[in-house]
Amino acid sequence: MGWTLHRLAMLLAFLLLPAAVVTAEKPAWQQLDAARDWLGGEEPASGGLRIELPLVSEEGMSVPLEIRGGELGNSEAPIREIRVYALGNPDPDVLGLRLDPALGRADFSTRIRLDESQTVLVLARDASGRFLAAEQPVRVANSGCLARSDEPVDAPMGAPRVAVPDPFPGAGEPGEVRTLILHPMETGFREGPDGKPVARRIIEDFSAELDGETVLSARFHAAVSANPYLAFRLAPRADGELRLHWRDETGEEREAYREVRVGSGE
């Protein structure tokens, strides 16, 4: 619904563009200084990490990204840190995550901005110091970094929206926690009506604590979509309290608390 023949024709033509538009001979991590610096001369392995993105996104403002990194609690070398890069964005840094085994699984969902057709790279480091890599090309019809958010630039940070399982499946069994907060995530790359750059304003930090212990910390960059959405797995072993905290670069903060109840596992 809502698709016109003209738009369908444009998308079909876009799909038929040469693959070289979004691919390259070298692995993505070799093309990016920030990635090579983090790797410190190590070559990442290609297994154990998977990402999912649409092959084509008509709008680059909000492109769904899923990261699948496997179990944490029962693994000999669980993933401890993840970094996401968009090679064709003005600022390639997208998202950084630090993980605790209490999450249960290194599985995440979010939405990101992409400026053009490009490759998205995800790197991970496990507890043994080994690096993993996964990448995927995405075709983008309309730039997301220069588009205006529906949220006013000077609007206060909105109330968090959080959904947790009630109850969680069982002790140590992961359930999905979904979070969203209203915020313009102004990139600083677009111009206002007066032709001057609109000042950047983004949420920089997010954290999740279970009974006072940090289980997840995230560093957002300008490529995280407006109204940041982040879903993650949590595997509590007993009833408790989950605290979620957001802070933007102006110092504005929001918190949310949710009761955690663990089911019998039956």
For the domain that residue 24 is a member of, what is the CATH number? 2.60.40.10
**Confidence at residue 5, expressed as pLDDT on a 0 to 100 scale:** 53
Q: pLDDT tens across 92-108, in order?
A: 999 999 999 899 999 99
By the 8 A CB rule, do 94 and 122 touch?
A: no
Q: Mean pLDDT throughout 63-71? A: 94
- Assigned domain for 67 exists: yes
pTM score: 0.88
**Confidence at residue 74, expressed as pLDDT on a 0 to 100 scale:** 67
Ramachandran area for residue 115 (φ above 0: left; ψ -120 to 50: alpha; else beta): alpha
DSSP state of 33: H
For residue 30, the enclosing domain spans 18-260
- Assigned domain for 251 exists: yes
| Extended strands (E) in the chain | 50-52, 56-59, 63-71, 79-86, 93-99, 105-112, 118-126, 131-142, 161-163, 175-180, 203-210, 213-220, 229-234, 240-248, 253-260
- Assigned domain for 7 exists: no
By the 8 A CB rule, do 150 and 65 touch?
A: no
